[in-house]
Structures are given as structure tokens and as C-alpha cells.
Amino acid sequence: IANRIKKKKKAKILSRIVQSKKLLLDRGFTSTLLETEDIHLKRRTEEAKLELEIRKWAMEKNIAQDSGQSFIPPSIRKTIDEKIKQDIQNAKELLKLRKEK
């Protein structure tokens, strides 16, 4: 349900953007002004995404603390997972080399 709501909100926002651009072009605004508007819009959406991610981290941290576990931020978790995958891949390659000998 939450994904549907997010998609609807995104669709509404995008339709508003298209409408506002059409209105600005009709009023004689140049494309450079529209480009700066796009830059500001991208910045605002990135800030909103970051804020949402921070809220998720805070929720995860609260859940982890309530259950008595230590909290590892998702970015660190991702790095650790990538390193573990790389170590597994290296170990598999070493096993192949040993079998070939």
C-alpha cells in the first residue's frame, strides 16, 4: 500500500512539474530558467530521499536497541556484505586453482 501511495505522489508531482513548465514556457520564460528550476527540484528530491533514509535508519536503530543488538548503519552493512562476497569469490578461485594442480 505504501508503494502505491508513493507512486501516486510521484505521479502527481511529475504532472505538476510538466504543467508548471508548460505555463512558464507559455509566459515566455527561457529554457535556462527551466533548467535551473530542474536543478533545484533535483536537489529538493535528493534532500527528501536522504531525510527518508535517515528516518529509516533511526527506526532500525530503535528496533536494534530495543532488541539488545548493536546497530550497524546500512551503508556500512552494504560495504561489509560486498567485502564478504569478494572474500567468498576469492576463496572459490583459490579452491579451483588448488584442484587444477
Residues 60/71, Cβ–Cβ less than 8 Å = yes
Q: Are residues 63 and 93 in the same domain?
A: no
Domain with 89, as residue range(s), is: 72-101
Summarize the confidence of residues 71-82 as an average pLDDT. 80
pLDDT at position 31 is: 64
Task: Give dist(CA 87, CA 11) in Å, integer.
Answer: 42
Task: Give dist(CA 16, CA 22) in Å, integer.
Answer: 10
24-38, 47-61, 72-86: the lowest-pLDDT one: 24-38
- Label residue 34 exposed, middle or buried (CB < 10 Å: 0-12, 13-18, 19+): middle
Task: Give dist(CA 35, CA 39) in Å, integer.
Answer: 6
Domain total of the chain: 2
Q: Are residues 29 and 50 in the same domain?
A: yes
Reported as a pLDDT band with limits 50, 70 and 90, residue 13 is confident
Contacts of 25 (CB under 8 A, 6+ apart): 34
Summarize the confidence of residues 54-80 as an average pLDDT. 81
Q: Are residues 28 and 66 in the same domain?
A: yes
